[in-house]
A and B are shown apart, each in its own frame.
Chain A
Amino acid sequence: MKPLHDIRNDFPILQQQVYGKPLVYLDNAATTQKPQVVIDAVCDYYRNDNANVHRGVHALSERATAHYEQARDALVAFIHAGNRREIIFVRGATEAINLVAQSWGSTNVQAGDEILISAMEHHSNIVPWQWLCERTGAVLKVIPMDDSGALLMDAFDTLLSERTRLVGVVHQSNALGTINPVAEIIAKAHAVGAKVLLDGAQALAHVAVDVQALDVDFYVTSAHKMYGPTGVGMLYAKEALLDAMPPYQGGGDMIRTVTFERSEYNDLPYKFEAGTPNIAGGIGFGAAVRYVQSLGVENIAAHEQQLLEYATAQAQACGYIRLIGTAEHKASVLSFTVNGVHPHDLGTILDRDGVAIRAGHHCAMPVMQFFGVPATARASFAVYNTQQEVDVLFAAIEQAHAMFQ
């Protein structure tokens, strides 16, 4: 991987100061910053190629379409999908899960069936399944976790049955950092005939993913957590599943012919892409994928792991920090509480030192309930973070702690 200094220079936003202090951006699990190549891809589209896709016969539309579709191809290569028909552009991980719950759920889930999710899901992988269960009379069940934030696989084995239609699990938890044993989950789920959806909103920027090797049925992510723009994301699904699923939304682009009597749907992936898409976002997503590939996911992960270990050791060394999420397999996320300092106050105090962290429930309220805390502070790492920034973080935490002594 290229030197850290050069990587930091790829991200113009990192060069700034906030409140007179160098920005230390440690809220990457919420959204990562964007490298110049992504910013350029978005700008170039608007400056040079702006046109609607898939319909114009003119030069601009052909260029826009080509760049947009190249982004799809970049994703095919990145996650080792079988082909480009399996990559659906959506608004983000949230929309991808809603799409599956509505489209696949409406034709494959009935009263008495069971949907299995985990205790550490983001709200976006809870609420759509609750709705599906309400609509169909299916039952939502939850795989529990232990005090370290690792799934209890024995309990998973017990919960899994012929009634299970789908297992929806986060690949990497945004609240805890836990990386779940997804290969084992998929193999076991398939053994009882259940499908598996993996929420890869966090994972794709930190874990190399091969959807065919995993044999996963659905894989979802958001571009903005892997150095791409907001408002665009991906649903990967096996082609046979997508073929059998009814469309999600109706409109332009998703149909082949329309009469007032009936409509014939377009081929994959367009069947699931009604309306003018987020073209600039899609093109930026492609640039982000290429950027991550140019650095190498394994290299990114190794760098972040070093930071995480360094930060974890510092947290453990000072007696007043409680780590939330200490699973053996985890990455890039340090969730914690500081004795005597509410996470919200900590966030404000750190901010004045230029340190951006997240304080709150991280859209994972059941995780907070499990650990008996209203909220946690969360520092989350990306490829551009440094050990020196971790030092700044802990110096600021010490200050905050002293303030409430």
Chain B
Amino acid sequence: MFDLRSLYQQVIVDHSKAPRHFGVLTPCSHDADGHNPLCGDHLHVYLQVANDGQIVDASFEGEGCAISVASASMMTEAMIGHTVTEFEALFDRFQKMVTSPVDEALDDEAMGKLAVLGGVREFPSRIKCAILCWHTVKSAITAQGGVAHTE
């Protein structure tokens, strides 16, 4: 039987109650809106990307469930100081983690702190919550100003 605590680990609860990098970012070179029509989650992400492609700073604001807020909070922590290319690689690893079959072992090392979000695999209806912010950053980087959806 799946344990709720595998989804709502204390780290996730903490991030959802006190999200890091929450608010508007100025200056900001990229931003985008993300929307999950199923549950009404709305978030906006901001990035400050330097000329050499380094993500100098990032933030988000919006409203959502614990999973989506914690995921966004942890994502900003994970990406600041890395390049856009590195973010894209991390995006792929994150997406693979949350959509992999439940019986497949997770590569916790490759995911670092983000590994705690691997628990959403056991809750199919919640995977979208975890991945919304990631899609939103991707759309900020690729299609400036577009709205990211979880669909």
Show the binding face of A for B, using Cβ within 8 Å.
Answer: 19-20, 340-345, 348-349, 352, 359-361, 365, 368, 374-375, 403-404
Contact = CB atoms under 8 A, between A and B. Distances in A.
A344 B17 contact: no
Contacts of B66: 341-342, 345, 404
B2 A359 contact: no
Given A19-B2, A403-B13, A404-B13, A344 B39 contact: yes
Given A342-B64, A344-B129, A404-B17, A352 B40 contact: no
B4 A344 contact: no
Contact of A375 (B7, B13, B40): B40
Interface of B: 1-2, 4, 7-8, 13, 16-17, 38-42, 63-67, 123, 125-126, 129
Contact of B39 (A19, A349, A359): A359
B40 A348 contact: no
Contacts of B4: 348-349, 352, 403
Nearest to B4: A352
29 contacts: A19-B2, A340-B17, A341-B66, A344-B39, A344-B41, A344-B64, A344-B65, A344-B67, A344-B129, A345-B65, A345-B66, A348-B7, A348-B125, A348-B126, A349-B4, A352-B2, A360-B38, A360-B39, A361-B40, A368-B40, A374-B63, A374-B64, A375-B39, A375-B40, A403-B4, A403-B8, A403-B13, A404-B13, A404-B16
A-B pairs, 3 with minimum CB distance: A344-B65, A342-B65, A374-B40
B73 to A, nearest CB: 14
Given A361-B40, A374-B40, 10 more contacts: A340-B17, A343-B65, A344-B126, A345-B65, A345-B67, A348-B125, A352-B2, A360-B38, A404-B13, A404-B66
A257 to B, nearest CB: 46
Nearest to A403: B8
B47 to A, nearest CB: 24
Contacts of B42: 374
Contact of A349 (B8, B16, B38, B40): B8
Contact of B40 (A19, A341, A360): A360
A131 B7 CA distance: 42
A216 B2 CA distance: 51
